[in-house]
């Protein structure tokens, strides 16, 4: 039988000639590794060892921006590139150089172009450069310092047991914020310089114990702001030179307009729609070059771009068609940004996600009326026509969202690209206010990174954090705290018992809670040690002045010293469904039905269901475990275990303070999300068989979604199970993935 064409294939995008040509140019580019940033940054650090760390970093990034390769893509109406070629990734040796040497020089475990997924070109002639860079950074990187500062049990937790993994923040910066684009494009970078100069004049050297820190911050912030202006001027010069050589009069005019725009923004406020987009591109790229973190997002794009759209329509300089083309050009420009990490970290982030999130829809935080506007639809059209994974488009739904908008969202979702993601205002705003957000700021939230809500221009810390392997904690609770894979035992159960010797179900649940709380403590140690080392070594002045200019500049503090209005450290819980399903199997089979003993079940787990000499056999016990009702089928008994255990984890996490607590920001604690990306696969690789019937070393469940293949009562039953969770506690985001095959939607 012939399978119908998928909706994505049978529905063609509508692109102008310019956008289609640019799309073909960018998407035909192969991922590669660019050594320019690493070489230039190392060059500056090597030659200037005696500057204050934050000033040294500002100067080093300035050196990169003024000397890296720049280019203008064919036909593009915007300037700005992240590396020497589209979709190539710069290197950040200051965070971790060892993996660069291992993989790029030695091919351990793979050379970049031989990876199982996410392969990168790495020119042979660059190996010598990378080796020299790695040699200089040995002993000086964030990872080197962290490994000397972390207690042994935290090192074991991360590197060996894998009960938590925070490798993304060994190898890269925070990211995970949304710059204050409305303020920036209305004031220009020159206002940042003016604010820093005023701050320097007001420093009280007599009475302020933080006066020297403030002086260093303001100096670094000025250097960073001026660096962006000079970076834009380089593109203005390039555009003028290109125009002088251009034979096509139309393209010549476009290039001269680009030069004029780059001389005006981002130094000055944007004067029109195109300038606002160019402003955002240039500042965004500069942040990406400073910070190796993911999740540098755009905020409520439709809200701050709508006034420029309306003004252009009114004065006749803009049409809806031109605005759509410019937005699509903007999307493609952003898509050229790329990052590369070690294979071990990449395994948690397969598909090269950048999480450059862009939010539309929602409500006006002042009037609480629906905020959908023309730019909301244009952003959807741009995603529909470009069909690229970045920027990550997010839609906010609420009770008054227009049906027309919902239907257009559904049409774009139906393409199968995974975009846009949809978020519930009622749930998210309640969760944010639960963490101290003012109502107006909560209702102005955007999505930052993957699924994490935050107030654009006001949130520091990071919405992302360590991956917490809840399934691993569950497994160790069944073996009296011992990890069966490594033999390491950091924390025995309070009862001293195993699955074979638990006398009640409550003892099994208590053991899991005990192990989970211990590894949450280990995660807090990892998070706060990283933040402390960053504060000492790698404060990021450019991120500070663009992420939170209305708070960092008046306070004279970068983000890691408490410069943001809100500051919360996020974290991802992995394996919710496996916890609930496994505990319910123990409760049902061992203690209620007494179908097997705890010892029989433990032996079946230890032998990965393979022992056929027992009675019942391993395969028979597995079949019994699989037959027990599972989370995702609207069965209260198992759904309430998921609710209570995940609620316990969220509550315990928020009881830990981060390094900015009491230093100015609202919040200052850890908090919980159920984001996963692809971490459920590598985490599953370190977990043996579990009582839910899962085989050893197979992937665990993602987010708060049911375990694959176990939600058998249909999508509405699965949604009902997810709705029972305490989503108001997940202030760092709730992730539920529901997937359909194209045939089911045809």
The pLDDT-based confidence of 2 (bands split at 50, 70, 90) is very low
pTM: 0.95
Residue indicated by tokens 């010293």: 561
Task: State residue 6's pLDDT score.
Answer: 55
pLDDT beyond 90 at 738: no
3-state helix, strand, coil in the chain (%, to 5): 50, 10, 40
Question: Average pLDDT of 414-425?
Answer: 93
- The full DSSP string for 74-130 is TT-S----SSSSTTEEE--TTT--HHHIIIIIS-SS--GGG-SSS--B--GGGHHHH
Crossing angle for the helix pair 320-335 and 374-386, nearest 10 degrees?
A: 50
Is position 684 within any domain? yes
Q: Report in angstroms the alpha-carbon separations of 426 from 56, 362, 399, 566, 728.
A: 44, 10, 8, 20, 10
The pLDDT-based confidence of 298 (bands split at 50, 70, 90) is very high
In this structure, what DSSP letter does residue 2 have? P
Is position 506 within any domain? yes
Q: Tell me how long the chain is.
A: 746
pLDDT beyond 60 at 582: yes
Residue indicated by tokens 């590396």: 83
Q: Which domain holds residue 694?
A: 467-598+628-745
Task: State residue 173's pLDDT score.
Answer: 83
Is position 379 within any domain? no
SS3 of 476-543: HHCCCCECCCCCCECCCCCCCCCCCCCCCHHHHHHHHHHHHHHHHHHHHHHHHHHHHHHHHHCCCHHH
pLDDT (tens digit per residue) in 518-571: 999 999 999 999 999 999 999 999 999 999 999 999 999 999 999 999 999 988
Q: CA-based angle 562:567:572, to the nearest 5?
A: 135
pLDDT (tens digit per residue) in 479-508: 999 999 999 999 999 999 999 999 999 999
Percent of the chain with pLDDT over 70: 98
pLDDT (tens digit per residue) in 299-325: 999 999 999 999 999 999 999 999 999
pLDDT (tens digit per residue) in 356-388: 999 999 999 999 999 999 999 999 999 999 999
CA–CA dist 677, 611 (Å, integer): 34
Domain final residue pick, 128, 161, 194: 161
Task: State residue 743's pLDDT score.
Answer: 66
Question: Average pLDDT of 422-447?
Answer: 96
Task: State residue 741's pLDDT score.
Answer: 72
Task: State residue 744's pLDDT score.
Answer: 67
Domain final residue pick, 139, 161, 183: 161
Domain final residue pick, 145, 161, 177: 161
Is position 199 within any domain? no
pLDDT beyond 80 at 348: no
pLDDT beyond 50 at 3: no
Q: Report in angstroms the alpha-carbon separations of 190 from 26, 309, 742.
A: 33, 24, 51
pLDDT beyond 50 at 342: yes
Is position 336 within any domain? no
pLDDT beyond 70 at 730: yes
Task: State residue 170's pLDDT score.
Answer: 85
User: Tokens representing 308?
Assistant: 């420029």
pLDDT (tens digit per residue) in 227-283: 999 999 999 999 999 999 999 999 999 999 999 999 999 999 999 999 999 999 999
Is position 543 within any domain? yes
Q: Which residue, 104, 94, 103, is CA-closest to 173?
A: 94
pLDDT beyond 50 at 429: yes
Residue indicated by tokens 């990550």: 392
CA–CA dist 680, 699 (Å, integer): 6
Task: State residue 169's pLDDT score.
Answer: 85
Question: Average pLDDT of 655-679?
Answer: 93
Cis omega (within 30 of 0) for bond into 420: yes
Is position 184 within any domain? no
pLDDT (tens digit per residue) in 589-623: 999 999 999 999 999 999 999 999 999 999 999 99
Is position 168 within any domain? no
pLDDT beyond 90 at 509: yes
CA–CA dist 324, 375 (Å, integer): 9
Q: How many domains does the chain have?
A: 2
């Amino acid at each position: 039988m012939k399978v119908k064409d998928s909706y994505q294939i049978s529905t063609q995008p509508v692109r102008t000639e310019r956008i289609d040509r640019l799309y073909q140019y960018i998407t035909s580019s192969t991922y590669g590794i660019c050594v320019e940033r690493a070489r230039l940054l190392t060059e500056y650090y090597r030659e200037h060892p005696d500057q204050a760390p934050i000033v040294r970093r500002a100067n080093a990034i300035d050196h990169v921006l003024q000397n890296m390769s720049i280019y203008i893509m064919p036909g593009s109406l915007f300037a700005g590139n992240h590396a020497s070629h589209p979709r190539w990734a710069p290197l950040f040796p200051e965070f971790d150089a060892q993996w660069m040497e291992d993989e790029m020089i030695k091919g351990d475990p793979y050379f970049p172009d031989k990876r199982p997924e996410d392969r990168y070109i790495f020119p042979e002639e660059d190996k010598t450069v990378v080796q020299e860079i790695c040699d200089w950074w040995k002993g000086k990187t964030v990872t080197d310092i962290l490994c000397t500062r972390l207690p042994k049990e935290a090192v074991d937790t991360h590197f060996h047991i894998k009960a938590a993994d925070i490798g993304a923040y060994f190898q890269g910066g925070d990211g995970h914020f949304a710059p204050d684009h409305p303020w920036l494009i209305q004031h220009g970078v020159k206002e940042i310089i003016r604010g820093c100069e005023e701050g320097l004049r007001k420093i009280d050297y007599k009475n302020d114990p933080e006066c020297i820190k403030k002086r260093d911050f303001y100096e670094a912030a000025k250097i960073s702001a001026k660096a962006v202006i000079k970076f834009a001027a380089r593109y203005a010069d390039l555009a003028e030179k290109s125009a002088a050589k251009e034979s096509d009069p139309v393209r010549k005019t476009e290039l001269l307009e680009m030069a004029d725009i780059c001389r005006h923004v981002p130094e000055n406020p944007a004067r029109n729609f195109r300038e606002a987009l160019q402003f955002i591109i240039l500042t965004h790229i500069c942040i990406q070059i400073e910070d190796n973190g993911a999740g540098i997002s755009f905020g409520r794009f439709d809200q701050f771009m709508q006034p420029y759209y309306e003004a252009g329509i009114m004065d006749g300089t803009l049409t809806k068609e031109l605005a759509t083309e410019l937005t699509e050009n903007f999307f493609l420009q952003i898509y050229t940004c790329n990052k590369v990490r070690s294979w071990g970290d990449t395994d948690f982030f397969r598909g090269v996600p950048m999480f450059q999130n862009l939010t539309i829809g929602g409500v006006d935080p002042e009037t609480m009326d629906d905020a959908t506007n023309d730019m909301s639809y244009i952003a959807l059209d741009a995603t529909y026509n470009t069909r690229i994974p970045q920027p990550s488009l997010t839609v906010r739904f609420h009770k008054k969202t227009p049906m027309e908008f919902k239907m257009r969202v559904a049409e774009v979702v139906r393409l199968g690209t995974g975009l846009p993601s949809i978020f519930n205002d009622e749930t998210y705003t309640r969760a944010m206010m639960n963490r101290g957000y003012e109502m107006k700021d909560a209702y102005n939230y955007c999505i930052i990174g993957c699924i994490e809500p935050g107030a654009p221009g006001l949130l520091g810390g990071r919405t992302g954090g360590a991956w917490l392997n809840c399934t691993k904690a569950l497994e160790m609770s069944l073996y009296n705290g011992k990890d069966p894979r490594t033999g390491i035992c950091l924390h025995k159960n309070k009862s001293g018992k195993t699955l074979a010797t638990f006398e009640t179900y409550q003892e099994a649940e208590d053991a899991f809670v005990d192990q989970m709380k211990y590894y949450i403590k280990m995660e807090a140690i990892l998070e706060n040690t990283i933040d402390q080392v960053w504060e000492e070594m790698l404060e990021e002045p450019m991120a500070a002045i663009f992420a939170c200019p209305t708070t960092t500049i008046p306070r004279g503090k970068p983000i890691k010293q408490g410069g943001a209005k809100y500051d919360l450290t996020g974290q991802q819980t992995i394996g919710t469904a496996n916890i609930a399903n496994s505990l319910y199997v123990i409760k049902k089979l061992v203690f209620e039905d007494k179908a097997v003993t705890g010892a029989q079940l433990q032996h079946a787990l230890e032998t990965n269901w393979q022992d056929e000499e027992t009675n019942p056999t391993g395969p028979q016990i597995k079949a019994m475990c699989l037959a027990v009702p599972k989370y995702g089928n609207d069965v209260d008994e198992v759904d309430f275990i998921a609710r209570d255990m995940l609620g316990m984890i969220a509550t315990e996490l928020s009881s830990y303070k981060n390094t900015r607590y009491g230093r100015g920001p609202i919040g200052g604690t850890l908090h919980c999300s159920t984001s996963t990306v692809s971490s459920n696969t590598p985490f599953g690789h370190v977990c043996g068989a579990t009582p839910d019937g899962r085989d050893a070393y197979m992937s665990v469940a993602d987010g708060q979604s049911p375990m694959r293949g176990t939600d058998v009562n249909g999508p509405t039953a699965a949604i009902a199970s997810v709705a029972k969770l305490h989503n108001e506690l997940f202030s760092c985001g709730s992730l539920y993935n529901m997937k359909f095959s194209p045939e089911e939607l045809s």
